[in-house]
Amino acid sequence: MRAALGAGRPVVALESTIISHGLPRPANLAAAREFGEMLREAGVTPATVAVIDGVPKAGLEAAELERIALDESVIKVSSRDLGIAMAGKRTAATTVAATSVLAAKAGIRVFATGGLGGVHRGFGESLDESADLTVLSATRITVVSAGVKSILDIPATLERLETLGVPVVGFGTSRFPAFWLSDSGQDLDWRADTPEEIAGIMAARDLLGDASALLVANPLPPGRQLDPALHDRVLAEALAASEAARVRGKAVSPFLLGYIQRATGGVSVDVNLDIVRGNIALAGRIATAWSDRAAARD
Ligand code: PSU
Ligand code: MN
């Protein structure tokens, strides 16, 4: 990773909570390996971010990746937890917030995830808003995401991104995706159709000294989305179950995702994998366009 960055070659950061808490074992390990392999085949260096025995890392050894995927004692950490996990020599998977902080510190400019956290439904009562949003407001990184999941309040999440100064650009679309669904029904102000356009936006923001993240919203093609009727039914059940079980704090997203995985008989997982693959492929192209741009300047 360090050698690639030093030589100006493309690098893409990958999140680890999606592996430890977002996908079921043991399929998650095969997926984690495949994600890295996809990038290597595209000539891009993958850097999965995690904390291993208290050491924050961008780029994991094979055995470390295996631990994140298979060891049930691995915890989920957001940015605020990083120092505590380090001091306590913990092994932890990083959320979008924590991954962004560590990747930016390592000098990585592009990060692929599945979907970010956001404003939860019922925010008025729970005040549950992911730290992903506030961290992205102050972290210079380009994040490729299939929008946010419909377990969240999507319009409120977009409003918060606006307030926080995080621009959202649809890739090949003017609509914000809803993760398993290609279109949340929410319009976006900006659209780009090539990785070079995204690299151009990154360069312009650098000129301004803009230190917030750029969010690239990358939908699944409609033909590969989760069946909307199945989606709506299972989502309603999951939200009701979470309410009944009084799930709170950082347990909320893993609870809802686990429920939806079981209730769709794993179909949601297949769609989830497709989404992450699509985001990784696009992030690889953006990172490549970014390093080509730098090389052309030199
Ligand atoms: N949303 C998903 N899948 C996930 C997550 C969110 O659809 O795996 C994970 C990501 O790591 C995200 C984190 O950064 O949950 C947000 O958690 P919280 O809402 O507790 O901040
Ligand atoms: Mn939360």
CATH number, domain of 87, equals 3.40.1790.10
What is the model's pLDDT at position 126?
Answer: 87
Alpha-carbon distance of 167 to 287, in angstroms, equals: 18
What is the model's pLDDT at position 1?
Answer: 87
For this structure, is 149 an active site residue?
Answer: yes
- Sign of torsion over alpha carbons 174, 176, 181, 185: negative
Q: Which ligand is nearest to the CA of 132?
A: 1
For this structure, is 15 an active site residue?
Answer: yes
- Token representation of residue 253: 């997203």
Q: Coil, strand or helix: which one is 73?
A: coil
In the DSSP assignment, the letter for residue 77 is E
Please state the φ and ψ torsions of residue 2, each to the nearest 5 degrees: -65, -40
Alpha-carbon distance of 161 to 217, in angstroms, equals: 13
Report whether residue 219 contacts ligand 1, using a CB cutoff of 6 Å: no
- Token representation of residue 89: 């020599």
Please state the φ and ψ torsions of residue 283, each to the nearest 5 degrees: -60, -40
- Sign of torsion over alpha carbons 158, 159, 163, 167: positive
What is the model's pLDDT at position 298?
Answer: 75
Report whether residue 50 contacts ligand 1, using a CB cutoff of 6 Å: no
Residues 164 and 134 sit within 8 Å (Cβ to Cβ):
yes
- Token representation of residue 243: 């309410």
Alpha-carbon distance of 281 to 12, in angstroms, equals: 10
What is the model's pLDDT at position 254?
Answer: 87
Residues 115 and 38 sit within 8 Å (Cβ to Cβ):
no
One digit per residue, pLDDT tens: the chain, 298 residues? 889 999 999 999 999 999 999 899 999 999 999 999 999 999 999 999 999 999 999 999 999 999 999 999 999 999 999 999 999 999 999 999 999 999 999 999 999 999 999 999 989 988 999 999 999 999 999 999 999 998 899 999 999 999 999 999 999 999 999 999 999 999 999 999 999 999 999 999 999 999 999 999 999 999 999 999 999 999 999 999 999 999 988 888 889 989 999 999 889 899 999 999 999 999 999 999 999 998 998 7
In the set 57, 76, 149, 250, the catalytic residue is 149
For a mutational test of ligand 1's pocket, the pick from 102, 116, 166, i.e. the residue with the most ligand atoms closer than 8 A to its C-beta, is 116
Atom of ligand 1 at shortest distance to CA of 15? 11
Alpha-carbon distance of 156 to 154, in angstroms, equals: 5
Residue 239 included in any domain: no
Residues 39 and 284 sit within 8 Å (Cβ to Cβ):
yes
Domain hosting residue 86, numbered range: 1-108
The count of domains in the chain is 1
State the helix-helix crossing angle for 228-244 and 252-263, rounded to 10 degrees.
130
- In terms of phi and psi (left: phi > 0; alpha: psi -120 to 50; beta: otherwise), the region of 37 is alpha
Please state the φ and ψ torsions of residue 74, each to the nearest 5 degrees: -65, 130
Question: Taking the chain, what is the end-to-end CA distance rounded to the nearest angstrom?
Answer: 21
**Burial (CB count <10 Å: 0-12, 13-18, 19+), residue 117:** buried
What is the model's pLDDT at position 250?
Answer: 83
What is the model's pLDDT at position 253?
Answer: 87
Please tell me the residue having the least CA distance from ligand 1 atom 18: 130
What is the model's pLDDT at position 238?
Answer: 95
Q: Is the peptide bond before 221 cis (omega within 30 degrees of 0)?
A: no
On the CB side of 51, CA atoms within 13 Å amount to 28
